Amino acid sequence: MPEHMGTHIDAPVHTVQGMWKTDQIPIEKLYGPGVIINVKEKVKSNPDYRVIVEDLLMWEEKYGEMPRRAVAIMNSGWSSKYPNKTLVFGSPEPTNTSTFHFPSWHEDAVTWLINKRQINAVGVDTPSTDYGMSSTYPCHTLLGKNSVVGIESVANLDNVPESGSTIYIPVLNIADGSGGPARVFATYDDEPNKTNAAAMVTCFMFFLYLLAAVLVCNVL
């Protein structure tokens, strides 16, 4: 099974040797307050758009200061292009990386998230945490050397509020892996002052999953 296919994570070791492998990532790094950065309108006129610090500050103007150890994910609307490879990679040659056109993060925004908000994970609804035309992959490197999880090809972000959710990243615990498939999901209250029972059940099931993972690791 490929580690880096479909919705998946990049472990820090994916780009920086000596950093965490998939099975070494602490569980507390695999969930956090959800921060959805909506750049769909900007991407319509620029498929090579990169999320910048200004986008993050605009989010904070609307919702308040970003919580620490959050999971920040770009919503560019790109997931609607799946599974058409030509559309997903923005190229008639989806095997030629030099021709790719799709949005992602700017390295300055990733640096800000790491230094100012102690982010747990950074995600995208596109194939990479670096934009399609990148040849140096600075965001991958920043995430790796700072032990931040990268999440790629996230779907259904229009169903997640821009603020107020908790995002979980249960990843296949591959020994010595550089990444792995992940069933990313979010929980949130869908009505003010009313607890979402489904969210409670989902959270409970997630922690059962984590407990099972710990038990399996201990047995092995």
> CA-CA distance, 92 to 45, in Å (whole number)?
19
Structure tokens at 70: 């959050």
Residue 219, pLDDT > 60, answer no
The 10s digit of each residue's pLDDT in 22-73 is: 999 999 999 999 999 999 999 999 999 999 999 999 999 999 999 999 999 9
Cα 44 to chain centroid, rounded: 21
The 10s digit of each residue's pLDDT in 107-162 is: 999 999 999 999 999 999 999 999 999 999 999 999 999 999 999 999 999 999 99
Alpha helices by DSSP H, 118-220: 138-145, 197-219
Is 120 in contact with 148 (CB distance < 8 Å)?
A: yes
Coil, strand, or helix at residue 95? coil
pLDDT confidence tier of residue 2, bands split at 50, 70 and 90 = confident
> CA-CA distance, 136 to 84, in Å (whole number)?
26
CATH class held by domain 8-194: alpha beta
* Partners of 161 in the β-ladder: none
Report pTM. Answer: 0.86
Q: pLDDT value at position 215?
A: 40
Nearest alpha carbon to residue 120 among 129, 130, 110: 110
The 10s digit of each residue's pLDDT in 172-186 is: 999 999 999 999 999
